[in-house]
C-alpha cells in the first residue's frame, strides 16, 4: 500500500529514478511490473545485487524492516525505511550500526515532520516563543475496519506489526509530540482491544513526564468510527498551539501566525483517521527529496535512524508500562 506513495515521491524528486521493485510473492510480480512500469525482482537479494540500484525504499511489513535494512547496507545501498523502523530498539541499533559501518545513509519515513505547520511549531519552541513547555497532547482518534486487519496476515499481530493503534497508526503523531516536547523521563499506560479481532491493542491511553518536567498524554485508537483527524496541542509559559490534522487551528501568545479563517476546529478532513489511503504523497515527496539531497551532500537525512529510534523507544516504553502496570523510564 505505502509503496505507491514512495513511487509517487520518487517520480516527483529530481535526480531520483525508480529502476526496480521487489515482491516476495512471485504471483504478484507481473502485476507489480504493470503498476510501477519497472522490473520486479522476486528475490530481495536479486534486487540488492542490481548495479543500477543505489538506494532502496523499504515498504514491507514492519517485522521485515531490520533484516532488509541490514542486508541493503551490507550491499552498499542507502536505505529509506517506513515507520516503525523496527520492532525493537536492539534491531534499530543494529540497523543504525550497519548503515554507519557501510557508509550509507539511513532515513525513516516519518513524513509528518515535513509539514509546514509542524515545522512552524517546532521553530517556535526551539526559539523560545512559547516559553517553557508545560504540557503536550497527542490525540489519534482513528478508525480501521476488521477488513483492514484481515487484508494481510501480518496486520494486527505482535510478531510482524509490532503493536496496534499506537505502533502502526499513532507513531507518526507520537513522534511529533516527542519532537516538540523533548525526551521522556517516565510513562504510564493502559491498553485494550475493544472493537477488533486482533492480537494487539486498538485503544490506548498513556501519560508522560518529560525530562523538562512538563507533562503530556498520548491517546490512540482505531475504533473511533468513522475516524477523525488527529490533534496535537502544545502549551508553554508564554503561549500555546492547537493543531488539527496538518493545520494550526489556534495559536495564542507572542509571534502567533495568522490562522486561516476558513479553518476552524471540526472542519479538517479525517484523512488517515478514516482510511490508510487518506493521505497524499506530498509528505513522502518532501522526505524523498531530502533523502536524495542527504546522499549527495554526505549528511544525515532530516529524519535519521537515530530520530526514528527515539519514537520507537517511546512506543515500546508505553507498551511495557501497559503490560507491567508500572511506570517505565525509557
pLDDT, averaged across the chain: 94
Q: What is the DSSP letter of 278?
A: -
Q: Using one digit for the tens of pLDDT, what is the confidence trace for 104-156?
A: 999 999 999 999 999 999 999 999 999 999 999 999 999 999 999 999 999 99
Q: Residue 171 is inside which H or E element, if any? A: helix 171-181
Please give the backbone phi and psi of residue 309, each rounded to the nearest 5 degrees, phi first.
Answer: -65, -35
Query: What pairing do the DSSP bridges indicate for beta strands 247-253 and 78-82?
Result: unpaired
Mean pLDDT of 19-41: 95
Mean pLDDT of 161-166: 97
User: How far is the C-alpha of 302 from the C-alpha of 289, rounded, in Å?
Assistant: 10
Contact 92, 308 (CB under 8 A): yes
Q: Using one digit for the tens of pLDDT, what is the confidence trace for 250-275?
A: 999 876 766 655 455 555 677 888 88
Count of alpha carbons within 13 Å of 283, Cβ hemisphere only? 21
Q: What is the DSSP letter of 212?
A: T
> What are the structural domains of the chain?
3-109+288-302 (3.40.50.720), 112-276 (3.30.360.10)
User: How far is the C-alpha of 68 from the C-alpha of 79, rounded, in Å?
Assistant: 9
At residue 268, the pLDDT reads 64
At residue 199, the pLDDT reads 97
Q: Using one digit for the tens of pLDDT, what is the confidence trace for 56-103?
A: 999 999 999 999 999 999 999 999 999 999 999 999 999 999 999 999
Owner of C-alpha cell 507481473: 30
Amino acid at each position: 500500500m505505502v509503496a505507491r506513495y514512495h513511487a509517487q515521491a520518487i517520480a516527483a524528486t529530481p535526480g531520483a529514478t525508480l529502476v526496480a521493485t521487489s515482491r516476495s510473492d512471485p504471483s504478484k510480480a507481473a502485476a507489480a511490473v504493470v503498476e510501477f512500469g519497472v522490473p520486479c525482482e522476486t528475490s530481495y537479494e536479486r534486487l540488492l545485487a542490481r548495479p543500477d540500484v543505489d538506494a532502496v525504499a523499504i515498504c514491507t511489513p514492519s517485522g521485515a524492516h531490520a533484516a532488509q535494512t541490514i542486508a541493503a547496507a551490507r550491499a552498499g545501498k542507502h536505505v529509506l525505511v517506513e515507520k516503525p523502523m523496527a520492532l525493537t530498539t536492539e534491531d534499530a541499533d543494529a540497523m543504525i550500526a550497519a548503515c554507519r559501518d557501510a557508509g550509507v545513509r539511513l532515513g525513516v519515513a516519518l513524513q509528518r515532520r515535513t509539514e509546514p505547520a509542524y515545522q512552524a511549531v517546532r521553530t517556535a519552541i526551539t526559539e523560545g516563543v512559547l516559553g517553557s513547555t508545560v504540557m503536550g497532547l497527542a490525540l489519534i482518534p482513528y478508525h480501521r475496519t476488521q477488513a483492514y486487519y484481515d487484508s494481510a496476515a501480518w496486520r494486527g499481530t505482535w510478531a510482524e506489526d509490532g503493536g496496534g493503534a499506537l505502533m502502526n497508526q499513532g507513531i507518526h503523531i507520537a513522534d511529533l509530540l516527542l519532537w516538540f516536547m523533548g525526551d521522556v523521563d517516565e510513562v504510564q499506560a493502559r491498553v485494550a482491544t475493544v472493537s477488533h479481532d486482533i492480537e494487539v491493542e486498538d485503544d490506548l491511553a498513556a501519560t508522560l513526564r518529560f525530562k523538562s518536567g512538563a507533562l503530556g498524554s498520548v491517546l490512540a485508537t482505531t475504533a473511533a468510527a468513522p475516524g477523525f483527524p488527529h490533534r496535537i496541542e502544545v502549551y508553554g509559559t508564554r503561549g500555546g498551539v492547537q493543531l488539527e490534522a496538518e493545520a494550526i487551528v489556534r495559536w495564542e501568545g507572542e509571534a502567533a501566525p495568522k490562522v486561516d479563517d476558513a479553518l476552524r476546529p471540526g472542519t479538517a478532513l479525517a484523512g488517515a483517521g478514516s482510511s490508510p489511503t487518506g493521505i497524499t504523497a506530498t509528505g513522502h515527496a518532501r522526505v524523498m527529496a531530502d533523502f536524495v539531497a542527504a546522499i549527495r551532500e554526505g549528511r544525515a537525512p532530516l529524519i535519521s535512524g537515530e530520530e526514528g529510534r527515539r519514537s520507537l523507544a517511546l512506543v515500546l516504553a508505553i507498551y511495557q508500562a501497559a503490560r507491567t502496570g508500572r511506570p517505565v523510564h525509557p
